[in-house]
Copies of this chain bind each other. A is one copy, B any other.
């Protein structure tokens, strides 16, 4: 991705490589072969620039690292973007973002991409027109969108990333590995030896971390990681039920199941009922997330609490600080999870 200048050495363009000197709009304009007002229009999200010209200017900005030196006029608006907010934990995130933003008297514009991916087509255009101070993303941006935002100096903080991010992308997540470890350690301390884990999809980063934490707890206790007791499944109630039925119908079923999230755990509840097992007497169950409903189900679910509200507030504070042009030393954060022991776990009978 390094850019080697071929023309005009020593001139305006050479200064792009010199990070001690700010790159001027004039230099960007020269590089892109457009007028200074055109560059200004692109940077300020105004209309009246042809798509290919806009792309050329953005490419020049991203190549040469132009950054605004003075804070621009703030819109006192920020964007919170979800891929899907169907899951119940979305609400906690929304509340956390909204509360933090309100402290700064910043309005939160909420978007859900949803299943119709063509809705995203307009999204970036509308977002740029609103000129937000920053974005908190519970969704993935494509490379072009990231460049469009970067070209305008609009910072993006990723909430609980599902994939490995480039090192310069700020994010706020939770200590998924430590959380997974604490869940399985709790079951081991109760006396369980055959502990199954319903992992999430293999490509989802936080699920992978929870599973590795589970394995690490088994290792630390000198217990073998039995491959037949680790199954991968989607993150819904039904996925959890199906995976649990497979585990519980084995000739040597587990005495405890650690599910990758609370919805899966409730699917385990249903599966246990279907095969005639009582929780926690015959089967211990641990979830992950600590959704509000975890405390309301019967028996109340032992689960790893993910501090969604605090994570969302932290992501917002970070995004707003970056939007104000502040330099913050730490832009990649993981907040601590904590095990919440309720009524779904007990020592094994066998």
Interface, chain A (partner B; CB < 8 A): 76-77, 80, 85-86, 88, 90-91, 94-95, 98-99, 102, 105, 107-112, 114, 119, 122, 126, 129-130, 237, 263, 266, 269-270, 273, 292-293, 296-298
Contacts and interface: CB of A to CB of B under 8 A. Distances in A.
A298 B119 CA distance: 37
B102 A111 contact: yes
Contact of A91 (B88, B111, B263, B270): B88
The complex is assembled from copies of this chain, and their number is 2
Q: Binding site of A, secondary structure by majority: helix, strand, loop or mixed?
A: helix
Nearest to A130: B107
10 contacts: A76-B126, A90-B91, A91-B94, A95-B112, A98-B111, A102-B111, A108-B110, A237-B296, A269-B298, A297-B298
Contacts of A94: 85, 91, 94, 110
Contact of A98 (B110, B126, B263, B266): B110
A141 to B, nearest CB: 17
A91 to B, nearest CB: 5
Given A105-B122, A130-B107, A270-B298, A112 B88 contact: no
Given A88-B91, A98-B111, A273-B298, A105 B77 contact: no
Contact of A107 (B109, B293, B297): B109
